[in-house]
């Protein structure tokens, strides 16, 4: 799966969590722009993990601050 | 994306003039706002006198204790107290040393023997607190290359153990067997796996489906650690906890427990049948690099543990109390954390922090102490009044407690 397709899928997964309909760019941050709290993060991460059949450990999550970094991380985890 | 082990409630304020405390401004503000609304500070109560496991003097008023986790009421047991006094006289007030140097006395070994008998396990290791038992065992057995799969509502000591050992942390939704299985299935082949569960979750007082979860863990060759802090002495045919109750204790690799609840003193432990378990005493830093428990503490613990082996009548009364309080509060119209009474913890869900604090204060005025729990320590950001029952609460006390809840709930406008 190439980066564009990963990004498209993540965009559709994020929709139900994007309560304020923030326009999402690679630079959009989860804690700041999207105002995700820890419960939202858990549900959102679970949705991504299920979609791509991967694990994003909390240690890896700690490195991911914005949307672009998430797409990159998912691409990388898929290749592993 | 997340903090690894909870949040401190601070905002994102830039550090002002290098003050490392500015990260706490958010929490200081929240507390000031709460106190300025006129409620008493729920986190600075002082017990002026303690009369029994269920009664104390707070603010000059006799108060029923319903939030102390003193499940089996062992704190004033005459045999327990006598054992502590005798150890004080014969072994002194403290050990002034680590378990692996000068801090292992006869009493520490006797305490470990009592635990081995209580759980019918080969090995027992006593730590200075339950917090340190989780911190020590988890951080020592699961390192950077290993995966820890754990319930998202795990106790702080479990999270801190995961962080200390630098393991790969993979949480799953509370008590969700399928979510747990999916995560185990995706862990890379050959990686070490530890599943960490609790028998009773202390926030809502609900129990885990250990039978199913442990079967799944074993299917994926994971080791299993179960924290039975809130079940010792009254859940399971021999009081060994939820894993025993559900018939799966033999599949648990490590049981973690504490002396600070049913046992009625302070300290923590791990029991295990792992053939190499004793090596923990050499490699577990939170065991090695701290002083051992005072002789009086291990003497009271050992005596209490042995008495808990024969606590059948007390246990039955504790369950009766739990059922009466759960049913009574539900009938009054309170929202409870569990549909049925599953443990000795009954969590009453408050509509918000403000009314939760007001209710807590109203109950204290009635002469009742319960435990106020609030975000971020609580699941789903709930504010809870956690009630923990004691085997020494009388039938009349439980009725008195219900009356207090009714009056306070009406005064605050919750029911
Ligand atoms: C589930 C759980 N584990 C461990 C502990 C820590 O026990 P201790 O008070 O002995 O440090 C507690 C107590 O708060 C607990 O609730």
B36 burial (CB, 10 Å; 0-12 / 13-18 / 19+) is exposed
Sign for the pseudo-dihedral over CA of B139, A42, B378, B330 = negative
Q: What is the pLDDT of residues B257-304, one digit of tens each?
A: 999 999 999 999 999 999 999 999 999 999 999 999 999 999 999 999
Chain A residues in contact with B7 (beta carbon < 8 A): 38
Evaluate whether residue B20 is within a structural domain. Answer: no
The token pair at B153 is: 């509502």
Residue B324 falls inside a structural domain: yes
Residues B107 and B159 in one domain: yes
For residue B27, pLDDT beyond 60 = yes
Say yes or no: B248 and B370 in one domain.
no
CB B150 within 8 A of CB B168: no
- Specify whether B89 is located in the same domain as B183: yes
Residue B293 CA to residue B115 CA, distance in Å, equals: 15
Name the residue range of residue B383's domain.
Answer: 33-72+312-412
> Which of B287, B308, B329 is the C-terminal boundary of a domain?
B308
Closest partner residue to B1 (CB to CB) among A30, A43, A50 is A30
pLDDT in tens, B33-63: 888 887 777 778 899 999 999 999 998 999 9
pLDDT at residue B14 greater than cutoff 60 = no
Is B202 found in the same domain as B118?
yes
Rounded to the nearest angstrom, the distance between the alpha carbon of B295 and the centre of ligand 1 is 21
Model confidence at B179, pLDDT cuts 50, 70, 90, reads: very high
Asked if B91 and B200 sit in the same domain, the reply is yes
Q: Cβ A46–B173 below 8 Å, yes or no?
A: yes
Residues B142 and B91 in one domain: yes
Q: Report the CATH number that the domain containing residue B406 is assigned in CATH.
A: 3.90.1150.10
B5 pLDDT more than 70: no
Q: Which residues of B209-236 are buried (b: 16+ CB within 10 A; e: fewer)?
A: bbebbbebbeeeebbbbbbbbbbbbbbb
Q: Which of B308, B329, B356 is a domain's end point?
A: B308
Domain membership flag for residue B322: yes
Q: How confident is the model at residue B31 (pLDDT cuts 50, 70, 90)?
A: confident
From the CB of B69, is ligand 1 less than 6 Å away?
no
Pair B272, B369 in one domain:
no
Tell me: pLDDT of B6 over 70: no
* Residue B172 placed within a domain: yes
Residue B21 domain flag: no
**Are B207 and B262 members of one domain?**
yes
B318 and B282, same structural domain? no
Tell me if B15 is assigned to some domain.
no
Per-residue pLDDT at A68 exceeds 60: yes
For the segment B338-371, what is each residue's pLDDT rounded down to a tens digit? 999 999 999 999 999 889 999 999 999 999 999 9
Mean pLDDT of chain B: 94
* B46 and B143 belong to one structural domain: no
pLDDT for res B361: 93
Q: Which of B1, B203, B380 to mutate to test the interface with A (most CBs of A within 10 A)?
A: B1
- SS3 of residue B251 by DSSP: helix
> Above pLDDT 70, what percent of chain B?
96
Whether B25 is covered by a domain: the verdict is: no
Bridge partner residues of B151 (DSSP) = B172
For residues B39 and B106, membership in a common domain is answered with: no
Mean pLDDT across the stretch B384-395?
Answer: 98
Q: How many domains does chain B have?
A: 2
Is B302's C-beta closer than 6 angstroms to any atom of ligand 1?
no
Q: Which helix (H) or strand (E) holds B399?
A: helix B395-412
What pLDDT shows up at residue B15?
A: 54
Question: Rounded CA gap, B370 and B385, in Å?
Answer: 6
Q: What is the pLDDT of residues A2-13, one digit of tens each?
A: 999 999 999 999
The closest CB to that of B173, out of A31, A42, A62, belongs to A42
Q: Is residue B27 part of a domain?
A: no
Choosing from B308, B340, B363, the residue where a domain stops is: B308
Whole-angstrom distance, CA of residue B263 vs CA of residue B298: 11
Binding site membership of B131 for ligand 1 (Cβ less than 6 Å): yes
Residue B8: predicted pLDDT:
47
Same-domain status, B179 and B304: yes
């Amino acid at each position: 799966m190439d980066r564009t397709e990963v990004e498209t899928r993540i965009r559709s997964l994020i929709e139900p969590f994007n309560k304020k309909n923030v326009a999402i760019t690679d630079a959009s941050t989860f804690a700041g722009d999207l105002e995700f709290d820890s419960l939202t993060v858990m549900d959102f991460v679970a949705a991504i993990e299920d979609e791509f059949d991967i694990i994003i450990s909390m240690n890896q999550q700690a490195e991911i601050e914005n949307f672009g970094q998430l797409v990159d991380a998912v691409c990388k985890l898929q290749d592993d | 994306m997340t903090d690894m082990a909870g949040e401190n409630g601070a905002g994102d304020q830039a550090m002002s003039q290098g003050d490392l405390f500015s990260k706490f401004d958010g929490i200081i503000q929240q507390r000031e706002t709460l106190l300025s609304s006129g409620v008493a500070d729920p986190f600075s109560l002082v017990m002026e006198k303690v009369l029994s496991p269920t009664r104390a003097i707070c603010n000059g008023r006799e108060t029923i204790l319903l939030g102390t986790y003193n499940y089996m009421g062992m704190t004033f047991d005459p045999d327990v107290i006598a054992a502590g006094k005798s150890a004080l006289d014969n072994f002194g007030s403290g050990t002034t040393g680590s378990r692996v140097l000068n801090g292992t006395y006869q009493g520490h070994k006797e305490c470990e023997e009592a635990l081995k008998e209580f759980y019918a396990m080969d090995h027992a290791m006593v730590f200075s607190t339950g917090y340190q038992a989780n911190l020590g065992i988890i951080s020592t057995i699961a390192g950077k290359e290993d995966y820890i799969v754990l319930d998202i509502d795990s106790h702080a000591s479990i999270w801190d153990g995961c962080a200390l050992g630098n393991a790969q942390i993979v949480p799953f939704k509370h008590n969700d067997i399928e979510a747990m299985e999916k995560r185990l299935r995706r862990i890379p082949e050959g990686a070490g796996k530890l599943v960490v569960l609790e028998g009773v979750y202390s926030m809502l007082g609900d129990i885990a489906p250990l039978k199913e979860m442990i079967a799944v863990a074993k299917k994926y060759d994971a080791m299993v650690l179960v924290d039975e802090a809130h079940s010792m002495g009254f859940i399971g045919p021999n009081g060994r906890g939820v894993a025993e109750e559900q018939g799966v204790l033999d599949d648990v690799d490590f049981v973690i427990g504490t002396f600070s609840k049913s046992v009625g003193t302070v300290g923590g432990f791990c029991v295990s049948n792992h053939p190499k378990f004793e090596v923990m005493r050499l490699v577990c830093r939170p065991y090695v690099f701290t002083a051992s428990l005072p002789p009086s503490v291990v003497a009271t613990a050992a005596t209490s543990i042995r008495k808990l082996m024969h606590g059948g009548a007390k246990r039955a009364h504790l369950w009766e109390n739990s059922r009466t309080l759960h049913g009574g509060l539900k009938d009054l119209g309170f929202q409870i954390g569990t549909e049925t009474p599953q443990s000795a913890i009954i969590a009453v869900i408050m509509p918000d922090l403000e009314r939760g604090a007001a209710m807590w204060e109203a109950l204290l005025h009635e002469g009742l102490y319960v435990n106020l729990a609030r975000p971020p320590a609580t699941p789903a950001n709930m504010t809870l009044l956690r009630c923990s029952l004691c085997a020494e609460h009388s039938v009349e006390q439980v009725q008195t407690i219900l009356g207090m809840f009714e009056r306070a709930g009406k005064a605050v406008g919750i029911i």
